[in-house]
C-alpha cells in the first residue's frame, strides 16, 4: 500500500517552455500533497503544500506564478514549471499523506533538465 507515482520520470526542455509534472496516489486518498525540490548533494526543500480543492501554500522564496500547483482530486496533483530556465533544472519530488501520523509517501521523482 501507499504507492505514489510521478510522471514523467525525466524531462528535457528548452529554456522558456513550460513543463507539467503529475503526482498520483495510487492506492489511497491523499488529503495533502507536497512538492519538493532537491539539488545534487542537498536535502529536500519543500516548495509548497496543497490540499484538494484549495489553493496551494507556498514556502518563502518560491514563486507561485512560476510554479503552478493544481490539486484537482484526492489522488492527483500537478506542478507546472512555467517559462523554465536552466537554474530550474533539478530533481522534483512529490509526496502524499493521509491519516493521523501524517506519514508522507514519496513519488519516484522527476528529473528536469532545462537547456
Partner 1 sequence: GQNIDQPTEMTATEGAIVQINCTYQTSGFNGLFWYQQHAGEAPTFLSYNVLDGLEEKGRFSSFLSRSKGYSYLLLKELQMKDSASYLCAVNNQGGKLIFGQGTELSVKP
Q: Which residues bind partner 1 (CB under 8 A)?
A: 2, 6, 32, 34, 42-46, 49, 91, 93, 97, 101-109, 111
Closer CB to partner 1, 61 or 101, in the complex: 101
Residue 115 C-beta: closest distance to partner 1, Å: 20
Residue 16 C-beta: closest distance to partner 1, Å: 27
Closer CB to partner 1, 84 or 93, in the complex: 93
81-87 long-range Cβ contacts below 8 angstroms, 24+ apart: 81/18, 81/19, 81/21, 81/112, 82/18, 83/16, 83/17, 83/18, 84/13, 84/15, 84/16, 84/17, 84/18, 84/19, 84/112, 84/114, 85/15, 85/16, 85/114, 86/15, 86/114, 86/115, 87/114
Residue 9 C-beta: closest distance to partner 1, Å: 10
Amino acid at each position: 500500500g501507499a504507492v505514489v507515482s510521478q510522471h514523467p520520470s525525466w524531462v528535457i526542455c528548452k529554456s522558456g517552455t513550460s513543463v507539467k509534472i503529475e503526482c498520483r496516489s495510487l492506492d489511497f486518498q491523499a488529503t495533502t500533497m507536497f512538492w519538493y525540490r532537491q539539488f545534487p548533494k542537498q536535502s529536500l526543500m519543500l516548495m509548497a503544500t496543497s490540499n484538494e480543492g484549495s489553493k496551494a501554500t507556498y514556502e518563502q522564496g518560491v514563486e507561485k506564478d512560476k510554479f503552478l500547483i493544481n490539486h484537482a482530486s484526492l489522488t492527483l496533483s500537478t506542478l507546472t514549471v512555467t517559462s523554465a530556465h536552466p537554474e530550474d533544472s533539478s530533481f522534483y519530488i512529490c509526496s502524499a499523506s493521509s491519516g493521523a501520523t501524517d506519514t508522507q509517501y514519496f513519488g519516484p521523482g522527476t528529473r528536469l533538465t532545462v537547456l
